[in-house]
Amino acid sequence: MTTLAAPALAVPPTPPFKAPRSINNKTEPLNGFKGIPLEEGMQLVSTRMALCQALYEEMKRNESIFIMGEEVAEYNGAYKVTKDLLKEFGAKRVIDTPITESGFAGLAVGAAMTGLHPVIEFMSWNFSFPAFDQIISNASKMCYMTGGMFPIPLLMRGPNGAGPRVSSQHSHAVEALYSHFPGLIVISPSTPFDAKGLMKTALRENNPICFLENEMLYNYEQAIPTAEYLLPIGKGDIKRSGKDCTIVAISRCVHWALEAAEALAKEGIECEIVDPRTIKPLDIDLIATSVRKTSRCVVVEECYRTGGVGAEIAAQLQDLCFDDLDAPVGRVTTTENPMPYAANLENETLPKPHRIIAAVKKACYA
């Protein structure tokens, strides 16, 4: 893997988590790369708009970037993340593919080896499994195996985690799976601000990147700067300050953790919420700093418990914060069963707020 690129622009302060108002779906765009202007250099966007805007800006900046995947062109993307990019950049740079993930992933690795910068969309990261060999055996290892002669500037993106009532085969969270292999960067943002800033940085990288969006966050809205900005890979963010327990939450789990934290605050337990934003490289220093302050930690993720990201964080905290911890590191994950179709069972399977609250109370002996 080549060296991570440092953002050339100043990193702006994190904007408020909640948008000042909602997008008017009758008079304002719900997708595409044009944000809705607000006052003081801000714009209102959804996560899908933030991602589309990042793609648009970086494709304007770098002509070697092209996008391919199932329905990314004529249909504007299954989740409309690539809306109007075909109109802007034409069919040579926005390419519809057959349903052949292994084929277009292998094509993308070859294209990256020749100096292009492909972006491939998996309609779902569940569908990346047919391309697993191309991602693991080729994309992640080619730079190393050629002594740096062939870096692989490749961005792989798409929705990750469980959608509503899509049952077992379309509900996998793959953060832990892909972060296991050296050579891959794994990014998992939770807000439009993070999604745009990290996407733009990722598109300036010379390394293969798994960019894990969450289907249930595409409609989430936030005010973000209209001016260009980048966010550094490998740096997390404090989404809520607190003194009693650190909650490390990933992607959609950040929102569930915030909901749990508000409920716990009413009972006198103030939680600090750390969003790693990138899973690999992991900002363990930020997590450890928070844990040294609160002396307790609960990790919340959509991966399974066995071999999950939380297991890695807990192991590293044992090395770094053993004498600071007043309780074992708690873990709230998707339960170890295939995702049920029934809504009531799905609610108990996912790491929802009621399960986070119970884990925090256990850590605080409350």
How far apart (Å, rounded) are the C-alpha atoms in residues 88 and 94? Answer: 9
Assess contact for 155 and 112: CB atoms under 8 A: no
Average pLDDT over residues 34-46: 94
Give me the CATH number covering residue 355. Answer: 3.40.50.920
Q: Which two tokens stand for residue 319?
A: 């090395």
Q: Is 7 within the bounds of a domain?
A: no
Segment 27-41 mean pLDDT:
92
The full DSSP string for 316-364 is HHHHHHTTT-SSPPEEEEE-SSPPPSSHHHHHHHS--HHHHHHHHHHHT
Q: Are residues 143 and 291 in the same domain?
A: no
pLDDT of residue 312: 97
How confident is the model over 9-18, as a mean pLDDT?
Answer: 85
> CB 127: neighbour CB atoms within 10 A?
18
Question: Are the C-beta atoms of residues 254 and 239 closer than 8 Å to each other?
Answer: yes
Q: Is 101 a catalytic residue?
A: yes
- 85 inside domain: yes
Q: Would you say residue 314 lies in a domain?
A: yes
Q: How many domains does the chain have?
A: 2
Average pLDDT, the chain: 95
Q: Is 180 a catalytic residue?
A: no
pLDDT number for residue 29: 87
Q: Which entry of 58, 70, 101, 312 is annotated as an active-site residue?
A: 101
Q: Based on the domain organization, do 195 and 247 belong to the same domain?
A: no
Residue 361: pLDDT above 80? yes
Among 201, 225, 249, where does a domain finish? 225
Using CB atoms within 10 A of its CB, is residue 115 exposed (0-12), middle (13-18) or buried (19+)?
A: exposed
Task: Give yes or no: residues 42 and 184 share one domain.
Answer: yes
Q: Point out the domain boundary residue: 225, 254, 275.
A: 225
pLDDT tens digit sequence for 250-286: 999 999 999 999 999 999 999 999 999 999 999 999 9
Let me know whether 57 and 182 are in one domain.
yes
Range of the domain at 331: 237-363
Cα 128 to Cα 136: distance, rounded to the nearest angstrom: 11
Residue 26 inside a domain? The answer is no
Q: Please identify which of the residues 70, 117, 170, 215 carries the catalytic annotation.
A: 170
Specify if 188 maps to a domain: yes
The CB-side HSE value for 196 (13 A sphere, CA atoms) comes to 31
pTM, full prediction: 0.95
Judgement on whether residues 318 and 183 belong to the same structural domain of the protein: no
Do residues 70 and 169 both lie within one domain? yes
Cα dihedral 338, 340, 344, 345, rounded to 10, equals: -30
